């Protein structure tokens, strides 16, 4: 099952540019039924990948959504066939800045700027190739949720159920700001070299700082305090220097450095840009409800009370727009101390909601 990829021809992008050749790498779990009606598309977040329910080939870590995906689990592999593609612009097999351009060299910063809708169109081409006309469901959290919302807006007839978790219909100024900090950290690293680093040393320190800044936004203050507090790292007293005295510093440094083993700096630039450009209402005359007028897709929206990156108010806007469009929608704010990361964790209520919604 591991390591599947399809070459899917050219892809016209929102920017007007055309990718001459699109490859989408993906993983599948479970078995597609005879009438091809039990497929669930799982969309991943910014730095995740297609290994939602299988071991990551680089890190050796287990799948990132094993809480939800598996036999007998809410996304039940005894009943459903799950497809999880690596998003356009990423670096684990799907076309992105690390892929070869027509001249044989990596695209680097010559790669066209992409959008969330472009990612979704690439996934739709994959489904075409797999012969899956309609999905039982599209499910995703964070940027995965943005893809879910785009799927339901772009291909309503192909999506019977859409579960958008810990997400928003547009990226807020605060979220754009955090992304810009990360991008500037990458671009300030001399090894970045305008994005043309594939034959030399990659900008690992810049990418690590970007990850450190982003990682803070995935947690909550209460969660950080509980996990780290002001505790010192392997020492009895402050060093009066700039070592990682505090556990939180050591943790963030580790998160930053280990991220660079599995992720490409240019991919980080492109995907964060796609998220910043995301504003589903903008493409529909400023009215989000217009994106879903007359839809027959059922929706489920979930937020978490300590998620300040994609707060409940953003989810409510989605819900209100869906209701105004006359769509069938469920919504719940679940309680978790773990901030945005709650969507990846075993948050009470989530199993019940996802399983019940998918039926």
Q: Residues 245, 307, 336, 341: which is the catalytic one?
A: 307
Query: Please, which residue, 42 or 321, has the CB nearer to another protein?
Result: 321
- Rounded least distance, CB 351 to another protein, Å: 9
For tokens 């679940």, the residue is 334
For tokens 């943790």, the residue is 251
Query: Please, which residue, 133 or 293, has the CB nearer to another protein?
Result: 293
Q: Judge whether 307 counts as a catalytic residue.
A: yes
Neighbours of 179 (CB within 10 A): 23
Which helix (H) or strand (E) segment holds residue 300: the answer is strand 298-304
- Rounded least distance, CB 298 to another protein, Å: 7
Query: Please, which residue, 114 or 302, has the CB nearer to another protein?
Result: 302
Q: CA nearest 228: which of 203, 213, 248? A: 248
Q: Judge whether 315 counts as a catalytic residue.
A: no
Structure tokens of 65? 């959504």
Q: Judge whether 320 counts as a catalytic residue.
A: no
- Rounded least distance, CB 274 to another protein, Å: 29
Query: Please, which residue, 108 or 349, has the CB nearer to another protein?
Result: 349
Query: Please, which residue, 52 or 329, has the CB nearer to another protein?
Result: 329
Which helix (H) or strand (E) segment holds residue 165: the answer is strand 159-165
Structure tokens of 350? 């989530």
Q: Residues 54, 90, 142, 303: which is the catalytic one?
A: 142
**Interface residues with another protein (CB under 8 A)?**
298, 300, 319-320, 323-324, 326, 328-335, 349, 352-353, 355-357, 359
What whole-number distance in Å separates Cα of residue 232 and Cα of residue 224?
Answer: 14
Specify the long-range contacts of residues 183-191, CB closer than 8 Å, at least 24 apart: 183/210, 183/268, 183/269, 183/272, 183/273, 185/209, 185/210, 185/213, 186/210, 186/265, 186/268, 186/269, 187/269, 189/265
- Rounded least distance, CB 138 to another protein, Å: 17
- Rounded least distance, CB 333 to another protein, Å: 6
Coil, strand or helix at 333: strand
Residues marked active site are found at: 142, 307, 340
């Amino acid at each position: 099952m591991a390591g599947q990829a399809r070459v899917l021809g050219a892809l016209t992008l929102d920017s007007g540019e055309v990718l001459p050749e699109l490859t989408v790498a993906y993983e599948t779990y479970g078995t597609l039924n005879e009438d091809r009606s039990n497929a669930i598309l799982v969309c991943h977040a910014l730095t995740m990948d297609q290994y939602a329910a299988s071991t990551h080939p680089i890190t050796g870590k287990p799948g990132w959504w094993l809480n939800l995906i598996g036999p007998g689990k809410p996304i039940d592999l005894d009943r459903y066939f799950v497809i999880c593609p690596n998003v356009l612009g990423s670096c684990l097999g799907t076309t992105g800045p690390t892929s070869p351009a027509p001249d044989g060299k990596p695209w680097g910063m010559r790669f066209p700027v992409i959008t969330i809708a472009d990612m979704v169109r690439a996934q739709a081409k994959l489904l075409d190739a797999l012969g899956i006309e309609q999905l039982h469901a599209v499910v995703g959290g964070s940027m995965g949720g943005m893809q879910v919302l785009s799927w339901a807006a772009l291909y309503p007839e192909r999506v019977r159920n859409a579960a958008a978790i810990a997400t928003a219909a547009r990226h807020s100024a605060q979220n754009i700001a955090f992304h810009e900090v990360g991008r500037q950290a990458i671009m300030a690293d001399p090894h970045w070299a305008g994005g043309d680093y594939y034959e030399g040393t990659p900008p690992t320190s810049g990418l690590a700082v970007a990850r450190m800044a982003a990682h803070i936004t995935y947690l909550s203050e209460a969660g950080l305090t509980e996990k780290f507090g002001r505790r010192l790292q392997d020492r009895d007293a402050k060093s009066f220097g700039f070592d990682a005295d505090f556990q939180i510093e050591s943790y963030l440094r580790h998160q930053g450095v280990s991220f660079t083993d599995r992720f490409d700096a240019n991919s980080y630039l492109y995907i964060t840009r796609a998220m910043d450009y995301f504003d589903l209402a903008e493409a529909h005359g400023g009215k989000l409800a217009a994106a879903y007028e007359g839809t027959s897709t059922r929706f489920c929206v979930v937020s978490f009370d300590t998620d300040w990156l994609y707060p409940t108010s953003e989810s409510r806007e989605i819900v209100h727009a869906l209701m105004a469009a006359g769509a069938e929608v469920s919504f719940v704010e679940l309680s978790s101390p773990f901030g945005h990361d709650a969507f990846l964790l075993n948050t009470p209520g989530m199993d019940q909601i996802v399983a019940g919604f998918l039926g």
